[in-house]
Structures are given as C-alpha cells and as structure tokens.
Structure 1
Amino acid sequence: MKDIARQSMGIKVESMDLLNGQIKMEAHASATYLAMASWCEQNGFFTSAKFFYKQAEEERGHMMKIFEFLIDTGGNPLSPEVTGINHDYSSIVDVFESTLEHEVAVTKSIHNIVKKARELGDIATERFLDWFVLEQVEEENTIRDILDMIAVTGTEGVGLQMIDNQVANWME
C-alpha cells in the first residue's frame, strides 16, 4: 500500500524533499526572528521587537502553508527540528543586516525549488511557489528600506530611538 500511495502522489518526490527543506528553513526563520525580538526587547528597541514578533508569526505561517500543500498533494511533510539559533547581536544594524542575509538565502532556496519543479514538470509545485516568489520580493524590499532608513538616520544619540520609532512604518 505504501508504494502505491507514493506512486499516486500529486507531487514529485524530489519536490517534496526540497519543500521539506524549505519547511525547516521557515521554522528556523521563525525561531531566529523570535530571538531577534528578544534581543530588541532587552536592548530597548520595543517597536523593532514588535516587528520581529510579527515576522516570526509570518514565517511560521509560511511553514504551515508549505506543510499543508504537501498534505494536499499526498506528500509527507516533516516537522522540523530547529537548532543553531543566534541570540547575540552587536547592534540594531547587525539585527537588520542579519535579517536581510537570511531573507536573501530564503529567496535563493525558493528559486532553486521553482527551477527544480520546472525541470521535473511538477507544475502544481511551481504554481504553488509563485506566491512565495512574490512574498520574498516584498520581504527583501522591506528590510532594504529599513537599512536605508538606518543609514540616513544614523546610529548616534537619538538616532537609535528614531530608528526604532520608524520601524513602525513597515508593520502592517
């Protein structure tokens, strides 16, 4: 029965394996953003903390969206183990620069899955990932905008408080 079920899945096994890797990446992102929120709270960046709490929830939502897609296609989603979360940042700039690095890595991962799905003729997976491709454009743009704002504001004196206050502009 197990072999018959795998043969009749609506998703290619290679796509499923890649999407399970993406589930893990999204779970890691959620945990990382919680750690960033904690760092922000501890260092007086309360608006930025709210921003990262929201981001953590968003990443968990992305994970669940992929998880449910795998269920719907007859695949086998795996609950990820999350380790290696950084809790130590040198500054608010370090937090947002780390965020951008992470979002760029997520974008590359999603693009690679799209390319593989296309190569495999896994049209459902490719179409499913269209939303994620556009979501990553938005995610990267938001963080680049925040980093641009930080560069203009500066991190001396009241600049740090202004930065934290301005992050509210990117919270929906």
Structure 2
Amino acid sequence: MKISKNMQSALNNQIALEANASNSYLSMASWCEITGYEGGASFFYAQADEERTHMLKIVHYLNGLGVPAIIPATKLPASNFKSLESILKTALASEKSVTVAIHKMVEIAQKDKDHSTYAFLEWFVNEQVQEETKFETLIQKFELIGRDKLAINEIDKILAANAAAPADTPA
C-alpha cells in the first residue's frame, strides 16, 4: 500500500512531536524528582514512556508500509519549572498541540481517501481525548483542593496513583 508524500511527511513530523513530548515529560519528571514530588516524578516518567510508545507505533506503521520512518533529533526541553501546577498546564498545552497535529493528519487521510491510515489514526484521536481530559482533571485539583503545601502533597499523591494506573497500550 502506498500513502501520499503529504501523509508520509505528516506522520514523520508526528514522530518528532512524540519524541519531543517524551523528552519534555522526562525533563518534567526529573524536576519533580529533584523537587521532592515523588508522585509527579512517577507520573511524568510514565508519561515519557507513553509518548515514546506513541512514537514507536507510528514508526512501525510506516515501516510496515515500506516507508522510511525518519528518527529525529529532539529539541532541548525546558528543565526549570515554577510549580507542579505550571508543569501540568504546560503538559496540557503540549497535548492540545498534539491533538491539532493528529486532526490535521486525519484531514489528510480523508482528503487522500487513505482508509488504512485513517483507521490507524482513530486510535490516536481517542487517545488524545483521554490525555486532554486527564490533564484537565489534574489541573482542576488545584481549584478543588487548593494550592497550599498540604493540597499540593495530596495532588502529588493523586499523580502517583495516576502513574500506577495501567498505561495505554498500542492497539
């Protein structure tokens, strides 16, 4: 099966986006670990692994089609953060940009009448709904519980519980 050059480019760009997201989450995890947020560290290490899994899913899809997957260099992620809340807001913004990119790929697949890639991308569409909801819910905790030290400790425990939940598995 052949896919358009436009779709090949979009999927390879998504590989880069997922790789950068993985590194960004790794940096967030490191900051959390150094700062004493053990739950946040566990949560973001798991997120980093999840993004790498997403990247590999696309690499394997392209390789299965006989299309070269381009493995990118990654951008240097931010390493100094203001707070646990700011990290979660940054992560949500990142997930929203991933959602936009995935929706653009879906539009390309529809335009190209590329039903196989469209079906492949459905998993990512559903995954992004879950990811955005997860981060929105975590950010809400600051409004519900508060921002004092005890509240942040509780939110860190919630992050630890989220890290312990089963990670997504590629379909």
- CA shift for structure 1 position 170: 2.2
> What is the number of residues matched between the two proteins?
164
Aligned to 1:36: 28
Question: Within 5 A, what are the aligned runs for 1:1-172?
Answer: 9-171=1-163, 172=165
Deviation readout 1:138-168 (Å, 9 max, x if unpaired)? 0111111100112211111311211101223
Q: Which amino acid aligns with 2:38?
A: F
Q: Which amino acid aligns with 2:39?
A: T
- CA shift for structure 1 position 112: 0.4
Local SS of the residue matching 2:123: helix
The farther-off stretch of 86-95 and 147-156 is 147-156
Q: Does the Cα contact within 8 Å between 2:11 and 2:105 map onto a contact in 1?
A: yes
The farther-off stretch of 141-150 and 17-26 is 141-150
Deviation readout 1:21-45 (Å, 9 max, x if unpaired)? 0000000000000000001011111
- Gaps spanning 5+ residues in structure 2: where? 166-171
TM-score under structure 2 length normalisation:
0.93
Residue identity (%): 37
- CA shift for structure 1 position 12: 1.6
Q: Which has the larger radius of gyration?
A: 1
- Gaps spanning 5+ residues in structure 1: where? 1-8
TM-score under structure 1 length normalisation:
0.92
- CA shift for structure 1 position 169: 3.4
Q: Which amino acid aligns with 1:148?
A: Q
Q: Does the Cα contact within 8 Å between 1:11 and 1:124 map onto a contact in 2?
A: no
Structure 1 outlier segments of 4+, above 4 Å: none
- CA shift for structure 1 position 118: 0.8
Instruction: Give the Cα–Cα distance (whole angstroms) in 1 for the partners of residues 158 and 71 of structure 2.
Output: 36
Deviation readout 1:58-91 (Å, 9 max, x if unpaired)? 0000000000000111211001110131111101
Aligned to 1:6: none
